[in-house]
Structure 1
Amino acid sequence: MGIVYQKNKKTGITYVYKNEAYWDREKQQSRAKRTLIGKLDPDSGEVVPTRSYRKDSEQKDGILRKPGPVPITKIRRDFYGACYLLDQVGKITEVAADLKACFPDRYRMILSVAYYLILEENNSLSRFSHWQRLHAHPYGEDIPSQRSSELFQSISEEERMMFFKKQGRRRIEKEYWAFDITSISSYSETLRQVKKGRNKEYDRLPQINLALLFGEQSGLPFYYRKLPGNITDVKTVKQLMAEFNVMGYKKVSVLLDRGFYSGENINLLFKNHQKFIIGVKLSLNYVKEVLEEERDNLQLWSNLQPQFGVYGLCRTIQWDYEQERPNK
């Protein structure tokens, strides 16, 4: 038995063969049988065996056998129920599909961080390492605090707006959009948007406002915006209309509470041709006039709304629309 080296002129690769000589009785002459061993590494000069030769040699040595039970080298217990439930929620609402489309290389990390914040709402992200050892989450690996900070910083404004657009288009034809602002008190002295303002809890701490847009029936949020703590609800409607134009939403029905009511906002909604429902204050003059005229009719059984358990009726009034023009 000998070793034969043969170089391919087209590819420049040198192949190594095992040469075995034998006697051919029929032809009455010696013959040779060659078996490919592998390729010759030009740098190290070593022979890199091929898969077929490696497999044949292992079979001859008796090493390779039929696959059987693999011994357990690692023991781990995972909680899967809650994460499986969130997987199905993301699939039904198509949030997971939109995240994959907007963040193809990071959507699993985003889902894992979201699962942790939902299931461990009272704990900080520094405990993610402990949580991920016990739960089967989409990313499947640890996300240290430094990597989670890098993840948040890597999300650009364009990617956020793309996600808002995809989520909004899934609900634009099916339900009303509810818009509201909540205030969050803060001790921070470094955040620029933390300002002194009024909130419903009457806290004396500075605050930051969070504007949220969500589906009225599904309750799913798909748009948010951080606002300074000293901005009032009335002043945010103008910015909301501007965001609608950027995201390409034209036919939108918006539901607002009475904190957003002002004559300027009503004119702005009419100007943008937005369908809306907004609460009003009982102290307004035209509201008092309508209530006095319809007070007796409100007591009629025909105006009872059984599903809400209250009396109500519809009344059409005339609105004095005003529009300011800079040159007129």
Structure 2
Amino acid sequence: MAAIVYQKDKRSGLTYAYESVSYWDKEKKQSRAKRKLIGRLDEATGEIVPTDGRNRKEKKDVTPKPGPVPAEKVSRSFFGATYLMDAIGEKLGITKDLKACFPDRYRQILSMAYYLVLEDHNPLYRFEKWSNLHKHPWGENIPSQRSSELFASITEEERHQFFGLQGKRRVEKEFWAYDITSISSYSEGLKQVQYGHNKEDDKLPQINLALVYGETSNLPFYYRKLAGNIPDSKTITHLLTDLEDLGFKKVKLVMDRGFCSEANINALLKDHVKFLIAGKMSLNFMKHHLEDIYLHFRNFEHYNDTYELYHHTVPAQWHYSQERPYKKDTIKANRRVYIHYYYNIDKAAEEEKAFDRKLMNLKQELESGKRNPEHENQYNKYFDVKTTPKRGTTATVKEEAVSEAKKYFGFFCLLTNQAMDAITALEIYKNKDLVEKAFGNLKERLNLRRTLVSSEQSLDGKLFVEFIALIYLSYIKKQMQDAQLFKKYTLQGVLDKLDVIECFEVPGKKLRVGEVLEKQKELYLALGVEPPVSL
């Protein structure tokens, strides 16, 4: 049963009209009501006037006039930082893409993302205070209940559409960094919250978050939520399928050693994906191709002074195999790959010292009779142990085993199927640190170290809004790095300097911007944005 309900906003003095529909909640066994905003009440005529952005379905045939929405009341708001966000959104196509995917909610999503970026570590329940002081896309408060409803309303189809639109704006020739992080959770009711390998040694169950980042643009465009007990190496095939579904076939990925496995490399080769992946020196494939160059590796001609290391590149044949269950056979072939080897003397010395300390501890454990069950394999690998009545237990190092272990100290390698020199490959791989920094931004500044939501839909929606905020944050940090602003400012310092700029709105008049100092103009230009002017 539908009814019209009126509610007065104490701040603005306006009365809003809602369509209230009653229904029976079978689970809670009680009557409930759904409300939908249909407009505001005109006190003079008693008519309901539709409000902008609230009834788009009814106004599909109405073409809005360009420019800002006219002011309905006299107001003074902080404007400088949200103006920056507006300009970035237009430049990166975020606003346009969100509007295409969420025509009735994109302003709310933008306002929440703005708040997460501009207010460091502040939870969403403090949004109202920030909203009252700032000009932002939604223009009104979003209470906790409404934000939860917004999160739950964001569908997988809408997210998929947004990823596709944003991905097309990235440079297809660049490498895309791919990595996974863990997010701890207190919510035991979530299906994907599981105990797994937590990279920060947090004892809580977790979900995993996979993120794809453009190495040239320094911007993320895709993420995926995973169960907390899924190892990194098991995610590649699903990633490739997701990227193909989004329309990306000519993909180039850069990944760390956690993804280095025979199955993953075969999957990448099968889909003709260009890749650069950190190899594991413990693999026989990597050791075998190092043998021929090992003795003359530290040749002066192969030394790079910038990175202070020696490097060699070895062409190799990867023994590719692909099982075809439908034909009950296996395709086998050799595929050309390149192994870039690197040797750092300082790294070798540090690893040798750490290894010798470990051997000393193992020897003490053996000879004192305080054996650790977790170290049994290492005891057997590196020591001969003898026990006599007179001398007790004596542990003698197996020199051959120790020499074999130390042989590869200071070495690391990168495996790729794209021809490039070793230093280019190293620089591309080092840029992968952007993903690690993005994870840090998510967990620290965007307040996502531990998630508190209690439903799958709310978690999915909150992650999406956090992801939108991460795009803005990544852009600002890259511009600050390029302009060397971090020598003088912190990120919050820049945002605070712009945030104090005010704007004034009067019904029937154009928006007026307050004083903008020369230093503030310089900051806008350094961030790739034209300073604001009165309209």
Q: Same fold (TM over 0.5)?
A: yes
Letter in 2 for 1:130: K
User: In 2, distance between residues paired with 1:77 and 1:296?
Assistant: 73
Question: Structure 1 residues 217-226 or 85-94, which shifts more?
Answer: 85-94
Determine if contact 1:208/1:227 at 8 Å carries over to the other structure.
yes
User: In 1, distance between residues paired with 2:102 and 2:173?
Assistant: 26
Determine if contact 1:297/1:303 at 8 Å carries over to the other structure.
no
User: In 2, distance between residues paired with 1:315 and 1:239?
Assistant: 30
CA-CA distance at 1:104 after TM superposition: 2.2
CA-CA distance at 1:287 after TM superposition: 1.2
Match of 2:213 in 1: 214
Tell me the percent identity. Answer: 56
1:114-129 map, 5 Å: 114-129=113-128
SS state at 1:321 partner = strand
Does residue 1:104 correspond to 2:103, yes or no?
yes
User: In 1, distance between residues paired with 2:82 and 2:198?
Assistant: 35
Match of 1:45 in 2: none
CA-CA distance at 1:74 after TM superposition: 7.1
SS state at 1:324 partner = strand
Does residue 1:238 correspond to 2:237, yes or no?
yes
Match of 2:277 in 1: 278
User: In 2, distance between residues paired with 1:138 and 1:165?
Assistant: 24
Match of 1:142 in 2: 141
Match of 2:199 in 1: 200
CA distances 1:25-59 after superposition (whole Å, capped 9, x unpaired)? xxxxxxxxxxxxxxxxxxxxxxxxxxxxxxxxxxx
User: In 2, distance between residues paired with 1:281 and 1:90?
Assistant: 41
CA-CA distance at 1:202 after TM superposition: 1.9
User: In 1, distance between residues paired with 2:147 and 2:222?
Assistant: 22
Determine if contact 2:171/2:217 at 8 Å carries over to the other structure.
no
CA-CA distance at 1:126 after TM superposition: 1.4
User: In 1, distance between residues paired with 2:248 and 2:124?
Assistant: 35
User: In 1, distance between residues paired with 2:309 and 2:136?
Assistant: 47
Match of 2:176 in 1: 177
Determine if contact 1:172/1:252 at 8 Å carries over to the other structure.
no
Letter in 2 for 1:158: E
Determine if contact 2:193/2:227 at 8 Å carries over to the other structure.
yes
Q: 1:281 to 1:138 in 2, by over 3 A?
A: same
1:288-307 map, 5 Å: 288-307=287-306
1:180-191 map, 5 Å: 180-191=179-190
Letter in 2 for 1:321: Y
User: In 1, distance between residues paired with 2:113 and 2:98?
Assistant: 12
Letter in 2 for 1:225: R
Does residue 1:324 correspond to 2:323, yes or no?
yes
Q: 1:283 to 1:97 in 2, by over 3 A?
A: same
Does residue 1:313 correspond to 2:319, yes or no?
no
Q: 1:89 to 1:301 in 2, by over 3 A?
A: farther
Question: Normalized against structure 2, the TM-score is what?
Answer: 0.46
User: In 2, distance between residues paired with 1:203 and 1:190?
Assistant: 19
Letter in 2 for 1:161: H
1:154-173 map, 5 Å: 154-173=153-172
Determine if contact 2:171/2:216 at 8 Å carries over to the other structure.
no
CA-CA distance at 1:302 after TM superposition: 3.0
Determine if contact 2:209/2:223 at 8 Å carries over to the other structure.
yes
CA-CA distance at 1:179 after TM superposition: 0.8
CA-CA distance at 1:121 after TM superposition: 4.1
Q: May I ask how many residue pairs the two structures share in their alignment?
A: 256
CA distances 1:181-227 after superposition (whole Å, capped 9, x unpaired)? 00011222111111011122222221110111111122211111111
User: In 1, distance between residues paired with 2:299 and 2:289?
Assistant: 16
Q: 1:309 to 1:102 in 2, by over 3 A?
A: farther
User: In 2, distance between residues paired with 1:200 and 1:149?
Assistant: 29
User: In 1, distance between residues paired with 2:95 and 2:296?
Assistant: 50
Q: 1:266 to 1:174 in 2, by over 3 A?
A: closer
CA distances 1:264-323 after superposition (whole Å, capped 9, x unpaired)? 010011111111111111111121223332235542343234554433232110100111
Q: 1:82 to 1:309 in 2, by over 3 A?
A: farther
Q: 1:249 to 1:195 in 2, by over 3 A?
A: same
Determine if contact 2:213/2:220 at 8 Å carries over to the other structure.
yes
Q: 1:306 to 1:92 in 2, by over 3 A?
A: farther
User: In 2, distance between residues paired with 1:114 and 1:272?
Assistant: 36
SS state at 2:147 partner = helix
SS state at 2:321 partner = coil
Q: 1:139 to 1:288 in 2, by over 3 A?
A: same
Letter in 1 for 2:228: G
SS state at 1:317 partner = strand
Letter in 1 for 2:286: V
User: In 1, distance between residues paired with 2:300 and 2:252?
Assistant: 30
Determine if contact 2:210/2:226 at 8 Å carries over to the other structure.
yes
1:80-91 map, 5 Å: 80-91=79-90
Question: Structure 1 residues 201-210 or 270-279, which shifts more?
Answer: 201-210
User: In 1, distance between residues paired with 2:95 and 2:233?
Assistant: 34
SS state at 2:312 partner = coil
